[in-house]
Chain A
């Protein structure tokens, strides 16, 4: 019985459950990425290479765009741990993609401070402009729209993050559609919106 008499147990996937993605194409790190990984491993005691699993998975994502079963096997081999341990990590953290995503993953913060300043309208404008729903990728493989939780820049709400790296702040429906168009025409050069370059 459920611990609350009036509520049934939920169904659907929870991040604490493990979901293993398909094997996908063969995978091995490039020599450069392998060297970068070994450098990161040296930050930890020699018997604690597992600490570098997250870093290894970021490298997989950089190399291949998303994480597959074969990639996880390879990471487990390089780190020297059980593949299950890598699977655990992949299924838990939201910044890992286990299916192909667009060249630009546009992640819109939806949490309270951003929502109080119109984040819903930003998502809506983005989705309408690209003809997708949150979570979907455009047919040309250029854009994936994702909703995200608080990014830690609530004073510059609403905030979006492109590809786990590039931030654009103080968005509104017009700015975000302009950004998408600029990405289409100019590529990564359009991603210069991070406040870091602006000093008060």
Chain B
């Protein structure tokens, strides 16, 4: 399929309003302004668009949960926190195609009758924030955002809100808390944000890529959109390929594309002719797949069938030199560091898992530690307030399941010789 979202991202000045207008920006908005909110939601439902933030929840349905007759203000919060290890697609969209993004925000606001949209951008994306601010000012000036948009009477303000370094702020209720000036710690659901969200008002939280898909549905029609990709996995999708590949980057394809195609055709295969060992298909919170399981469609449903998840479509590729114990240790350092600490199993358990994995990785573990890893992980998954707890389990459980021999090598023989990309030992600050 021809790229739609990323067609022009490599061209000079692709982010500017002039360039975007030459390539059809805001055409979808013009159509949507002529439609009633319910009709907009109906089109999004019929297009089959599913949220690109991780869970794949149908976007139209989510918008439909916002109570129509509530006297309270309604809010759209954009999740531009992109912190899932291995994910960098929203980054590219905001940097190179910001007007498509604003267009999606305004259409979504019209659909849910919101007058204000906050873009919650992670603090580390400061250079992107400046691009967004410049382009947003141009969009305001040209009348695509602000009061009386294109003479329709619609009023939408967009504000950019900078975070300050917390993975957990990506969880939708934690994002709302953070926007209210608190720690990014999740709320108990229900009530769901659609009913009680930002400042106690009905709120929709959507991912950046999700919103970038919205204008396409109106520009080209929901029939066109629903015709892309396999049934129930419609529309163009961005894949982030990183790790041991020749051409890491963001690639756009429909969801019939397989993991093998993404790794070998799009990203140019593994450097040095080495063999593939394992793939994380959807960001660090999804199950690792071994090399013989990559002939599956990289779609929401395809990857569930293969025993993993599409998640944020962050595909991390690991070659034969990689120790999966080291991978698990690296990721558990991340989760230990990012746990918000609100629930005990997650706060304590991530610390324990990291400590056990460090010990095993150094070659000081015992076989019974492997059972202990399973047991601790099992006491976190499903027993926490937010899905972070469930996200901790895959790096441990799936590496143990598919690569037990790696763990046993570390235990029986000790740490294997280091691959070239880690060869300078002993590292300062190594734990």
Please list the residues of chain A having a beta carbon within 8 angstroms of any beta carbon in chain B: 2-4, 6-7, 9-10, 14-17, 43, 45, 48, 50-55, 57-58, 79, 81, 85, 88-89, 92-96, 110-113, 115-118, 120-121, 123-124, 127-128, 133-135, 147, 149-157, 161, 164-167, 173, 194, 196, 199-200
Contact = CB atoms under 8 A, between A and B. Distances in A.
B127 A196 contact: yes
B329 to A, nearest CB: 10
B334 A200 contact: no
B123 A161 contact: no
Contact of B184 (A51, A92, A157, A196): A92
A50 B180 contact: yes
Contact of A89 (B183, B322, B337, B339): B183
Interface stretch (B85-93, B99-107, B226-234): B85-93
A172 to B, nearest CB: 10
A157 B242 contact: yes
Contacts, number: 212
Among B86, B184, B327, B423, max chain A CB count under 10 A is at B86
Interface residues of B, number: 85
Interface string B187-226: 0000000000001000000000000000000000000000
Contacts of A151: 124
B127 A200 contact: no
A112 B85 contact: yes
A153 B124 CA distance: 11
B12 to A, nearest CB: 5
Interface in B399-431: 421-424, 427-430
B348 A124 contact: no
A121 B424 contact: yes
Chain B facing A: main interface SS: mixed
B349 A133 contact: no
B280 to A, nearest CB: 8
A173 B330 CA distance: 20
A95 B164 contact: yes
B60 to A, nearest CB: 28
B421 A149 contact: no
A155 B181 contact: no
Interface in B235-268: 240-244, 248-250
A82 to B, nearest CB: 11
Given A89-B182, A155-B88, A112 B330 contact: yes
A3 B88 contact: no
A43 to B, nearest CB: 4
A57 B183 CA distance: 13
Nearest to A92: B183
A51 B340 contact: no
A89 B183 CA distance: 5
Contact of B427 (A95, A124, A135): A124
B162 A133 contact: no
Given A152-B125, A165-B126, A120 B427 contact: yes
B179 interface: yes
